[in-house]
Structure 1
Amino acid sequence: MAIIRQKHTLLLLLLCVILPFSRSKSEPESVTESSIHDLLKSKGLPVGLFPKEVESFTLYDTGLLEVFLRGPCLTKFDTMAFYESTVRANLTYRSLTGVEGLSQEELFLWLPVKDIIVDDPKSGLILFDIGVAHKQLSLSLFEDPPDCKSEDFLNLKKKSRKEIGFDAQI
């Protein structure tokens, strides 16, 4: 009976030691930042990369960041920017890579933002990779979280298509 009790005690002890380390990599990381803007700042990124309309976010152990907005919306930095209701990216120090759910307007085209990188904060520049080009923008454009309007995107999209000769069929 004493041997069985020792085995149970040893098994319980092993479980107590192993379980804290067996958390799946896809589980959310415990984040102490109170907002997405605090998280961005702690990672060396400007707080104005995401609009004020962020409802929540999840940061996974893998570095995957999911940001949830109230809905799709439109804002302006140097050009118009469109946020889908969910934006995903891999977050590392001073960069968001593999961005999904964010587009910028360039010459009447909406191009997806692929990466956002602050190489050297002293330069005062932030790099936006939009696939066909790399844009360097002033970090000062992102000092404050912008307001994001949801109804303006559909109106702008209709207007842009008509201006370049297409009927808007939304």
Structure 2
Amino acid sequence: MGLPAGLLPKEIKSYTFSGSGLLEVFLDGPCLTKFDTMAFYESEVRANLTYGSLTGVKGLSQEELFLWLPVKDIIVDDPSSGLILIDIGVAHKQLSFSIFEDPPDCSSNSVLKEPEASIKEKAFAAER
């Protein structure tokens, strides 16, 4: 569908794709990985899939300047440009398509319930 395989982690348990274009991806549990910054996947990620785009993304957040922001859209406007656009609401990021060539390993942490918990743990460790 014109998108790189590495947008989603290796730890996919199953997925559904409806005729209306709704893609639902189910993971074993929430997990963290790193692209240009840290990314957090909930146990279920949803988006509308059309050629070259995932829009209305739910269940994926990216860390930006110590804040976790929800990814709203992922778009490849021009495949020949080698760039992928990530819309995190307050900003649009253009990243190299090559970052997403291979599905990343995604690590889960039984203590981690949501991205903010990780930030709190890092901040507390830095204060020690």
TM-score, structure 2 normalization: 0.90
Query: Pick from 120, 137, 141: which aligns with 2:99?
Result: 141
- Calculate percent identity across the aligned residue pairs: 74
Q: Secondary structure at the match of 2:9?
A: coil
- Name the SS for the 2:59 alignment partner: strand
Structure (1/2) with the larger helix percentage: 1
Write 1 or 2 for the structure with the bigger share of strand. Answer: 2
In the TM superposition, what is the alpha-carbon distance from 1:158 to its structure 2 partner? 3.0
Of 76, 80, 83 in structure 2, the residue corresponding to residue 118 of structure 1 is 76
1:28-73: CA deviation from partner (whole Å, max 9, x where unpaired): xxxxxxxxxxxxxxx0100000000001000011100000001000
Q: Which residue of 2 aligns with 1:96?
A: 54
1:152, CA displacement in angstroms? 8.1
CA distance in 2, matches of 1:62, 1:83: 23
Indicate if the aligned counterparts of 1:72 and 1:83 stay in contact, CA closer than 8 A: yes
- Per-residue deviation, 1:151: 1.0
CA distance in 2, matches of 1:153, 1:95: 33
Distance 2:98 2:118 in 1: 25
Number of the residue aligned with 2:88: 130
Cα distance in 2 between the residues matched to 1:102 and 1:94: 18
Contact 2:13-2:28 within 8 A present in 1 as well: yes
**Higher relative contact order (Cα pairs below 8 Å, separated by 6+ residues):** 2
Find the counterpart in structure 2 of residue 32 from structure 1. none
Give the stretch that moved more between structures: 91-100 or 147-156: 147-156
CA distance in 2, matches of 1:164, 1:85: 29
Larger radius of gyration: 1
Alignment RMSD = 1.9
Q: Quote the residue 1:51 is aligned against.
A: 9
Question: What 5-or-longer segments of structure 2 have no aligned partner?
Answer: none
Partner letter of residue 74 of structure 1?
L
Paired letter, 2:28: R
Q: TM-score, normalised by structure 1?
A: 0.68
- The amino acid that maps onto 1:68 is F
